[in-house]
A and B are shown apart, each in its own frame.
Chain A
Amino acid sequence: MKIVNVLLLITFGVLLIYASLGLPNRGDVDAVMHREKSPSGSKGASSYYIRNANRDANTPNMVTVILADYRGYDTLGEETVILTAGLICFLILRRKKSKS
């Protein structure tokens, strides 16, 4: 049984490494998501963010604008995940009050 687990892990790792070979190089200007237009011809999101983040939200830090404004739903979900983790720790680990 243990050998099966190890084999599964190794297979999965090899699969992940193989998948990572298909990713574009870091900082590659010609990668699909860095182009100004997507393959279907619509405007790419990343170039819009880079050009308009400061104008839209009056905030020099682009990352903050994307995190809290353009992708606000995502951050709300992250915060809910943190709250859920805390509540689960509370429910599992906290000792019940003895009835006395």
Chain B
Amino acid sequence: MISYKSNPIILMVSRMVSPFIMLFALYVIFHGHYSPGGGFQGGTIMAASLLLMRLSAGREIGQLQFKTTLGTPLGSVGVLIYFGTGFWAMLSGGEFLNYRFLPFAGFTAPELRSIGILMVEIGVGLAVMAILVAIYDDLLEGYPHD
């Protein structure tokens, strides 16, 4: 079995690259209104940056960034954000997932829909990121610790 050996060059490069990948992921999520992208793609890129640190720095340092026990709960929180946005619109008098009825004062209906889409995309990105990292951690569970 291949055992983990610390390699300073790989560690250094991935430590430099990882924050930029995260920044790009946030850009993809929040700029999804104007360019190709959105929650699914941004969440995947964010998970890629977290997994890069896990692969290059080993298990313990990866835990500092994103704990294994955080994976499934954060995924559930993402789905809850999506569901909650739709349910909130329903509670304030509209249909389920009809963002026009979100209770924010001072916005016109198209702007409210835009805000609703943004909230939903954040939920999707959070869920995808957390679930991908959680699946990686689950797959790694059987191996002895490095």
Contact = CB atoms under 8 A, between A and B. Distances in A.
Contact of B72 (A72, A78, A90): A90
Interface residues of B, number: 39
B82 A57 contact: no
Main secondary structure of the interface of A (DSSP, over half): helix
Interface in A60-88: 60-61, 63-65, 67-69, 72-73, 75-76, 78-80, 82-83, 85-87
A89 interface: yes
A94 interface: yes
Contact of B135 (A63, A65, A85): A85
B124 to A, nearest CB: 6
Contacts of B131: 82-83, 85-86
A67 to B, nearest CB: 7
What 9 pairs between A and B have smallest CB-CB spacing?
A86-B131, A58-B110, A72-B97, A57-B113, A93-B138, A68-B117, A58-B114, A89-B138, A59-B33
